[in-house]
A and B are shown apart, each in its own frame.
Chain A
Amino acid sequence: MQRAMRTLHACSVESSNEHGRMIGAARSNRRPLSFWRRHPGLPFVAPTGVVLMVMLLFPLGYTLYLSLMEWFAAGPPPHFVGFENYAALLGDERFLNAVVRTLIFTAIAVVVEVALGIALALLFERRFVGRGVARTLFLLPMVATPVAIALVWMLMFDPATGVLNYLLTLVGLPPSLWVNDPWLAIPSLALVDIWQWTPLVMLIVLGGLTALPNEPFEAALIDGASRWQVFRYLTLPLLRPYIAVAALFRSIDALKTFDPIFVITRGGPGFASETLNLYIYNMAFEYLHFGSSSAMLVVFFGIVLGFSVLLIGVRRRASA
């Protein structure tokens, strides 16, 4: 994770003339030795570079190109329309609602995950019998097949026979419609995300806790600081870089959540839980509108990228 930040930094500093060098490379076949000497690692990296280019960078470029085309698979062949697809998005209420829903889902999920994750990390920092086993068990929601997990939650959410409503009635609360309620669909789906990913935040923060220096805490102890004061004015500020990293990764992934939403609600009831990812999926693979779905993809990518840049900025300030 630290490496990711380093990479970003190194690349933003270094000016990019890779392309020029590549062209030079093709020409310098006459003297292969000097070329390989100038680029010692290239043979190791090149095959992966090609795969990256073909499988990941080319599709991104192609998406950008398609977003300027009108292309309905069952209609006439694709033709250039400029920014019309983007302009249409501004008037597309379903799209705008999907953007808002995506942001709400992400906000609920990440805020709760970070708060719970910190609490759990503090709990797990203490030594107790079976701590190692307990930590391993907390990994399981993260690695379990998301589709399988989503199906189990769907069973538990069932308004008529689900175990969650049974638990609610047990403590005297009225039963809920969960994902079947247009207002509760997004928070309920966020609950699944929270269950699955809080452990990641906890483990990142836990890693931070063990790396903290001892001296400030000893000093605070001597000064007679209360536990709350130690947490509020010492632990929390020192942990901020770790929390920022955890929030960054969780935000990027929460924005892109697909499997549980697709399995549990398919965007329903109505469009109540249709996030951007779901809408784009429908637009592309149900309605086969490749042009406008590509325009949405570009906007979606922009949102995710914007979030990343924002949070990396926050992290830089936090660690500075």
Chain B
Amino acid sequence: MSAKRPVMWRGTVFHVFVLVVLAAYLSPFYWMVLSSLKTQVQNVAFPPLFIFAPTLENYRSVFVNNPFFLYLWNSLVIGFGSTLLGLLLGLPAAYGIARYRRQKVALAFLIARIAPGISYLVPWFIVFSKFDLVGSYTALILSHLTVGLPLIVWIMIGFFEDVPSEMEDAAHIDGASQFDIFLKVALPMVMPGVLTAAILSFIQSWNTFMYSVVLANADTRTLPVAVFGFMSYGGFDWGSITAAATVITLPVMVLTLFIQRHIVGGLSMGSVKG
């Protein structure tokens, strides 16, 4: 009966209960996919339809009636761009913080984490406007970098701290430079962490909405902004909206399966959202 020592609960009631909780919890996703397979008439039927002849027409319409591949491309370019730049800057930084206890840089990250995202957006918008960069990939990648970089650094500090210093000392005695030690000794040992950090940074960039809605134009629009735009023209075509929502959400879910163990730390510490 202890709350601490788990016992194997074989009770059917318990399993049914867990199943019900889980099903209720995931039902919005179920509803999203279900609605994406309905026609507009079926989508506004009341009572809502649970059994109907599914159609893939909405998915066709999303890709044919909109430059959806352009939006997909934009999301990929900005996601990969900000993540690669984030790794390039963040990996040495995390190593430096972990090895040499540069706490103040870490504090700066913490402040960055606490500040509302919109307090960066107003100055960025003004400065980017001056340099005629609003709507450019540069502005979008830089803004998304501020989401990915802190996340990469925070995750990687932990991984670098776990590298045994004996290995590095040995390399040092052999005459390797600091940078060589980082690149050839420490970095290969934290590769699983790098993959995790990269995936999380990419997901966060993929999901980022507020920065993109202000800084993107018609040609550099990312997927979340594009789907948001679906609401305005042509009223509420729920079939297309949910089809697009499904297309956006799917890659994120697949990526999540790879990094599930690190998601809690990453989401609570790294993301600068809102």
Contact = CB atoms under 8 A, between A and B. Distances in A.
Contacts of B107: 7-8, 11
A128 B15 contact: yes
Interface stretch (B56-64, B66-74, B90-98): B90-98
Contacts of A235: 3-4
Interface in A141-191: 141-149, 151-153, 155-156, 160-163, 166
B112 interface: yes
A114 to B, nearest CB: 14
Contacts of B273: 253, 256, 258
A258 B249 contact: no
Interface size class of A (residues with CB under 8 A): 35 or more
Given A48-B93, A122-B3, A151-B227, A143 B263 contact: yes
Interface residues of B, number: 109
A57 interface: yes
B7 interface: yes
B109 A52 contact: yes
A49 B107 CA distance: 11
A128 B227 CA distance: 39
A72 interface: no
B253 A277 contact: no
Interface stretch (A24-32, A83-91, A93-101, A130-138): A130-138
Nearest to B119: A297
Given A4-B110, A7-B103, A11-B107, A300 B116 contact: yes
A60 B127 CA distance: 13
Nearest to A50: B89
A314 to B, nearest CB: 16
A43 B96 CA distance: 8
Interface of B: 1-9, 14-15, 18, 21-22, 25-26, 28-29, 31-32, 35, 43-48, 89-90, 92-93, 95-97, 99-127, 142-143, 145-146, 149, 153-154, 157-158, 178-179, 182, 203, 206-207, 209-210, 214, 223-225, 227-228, 231, 238, 241-242, 244-246, 248-249, 252-253, 255-257, 260, 263-265, 267-269, 273-274
Give the top 3 A-B pairs by smallest Cβ distance, nearest first: A41-B100, A44-B96, A256-B274
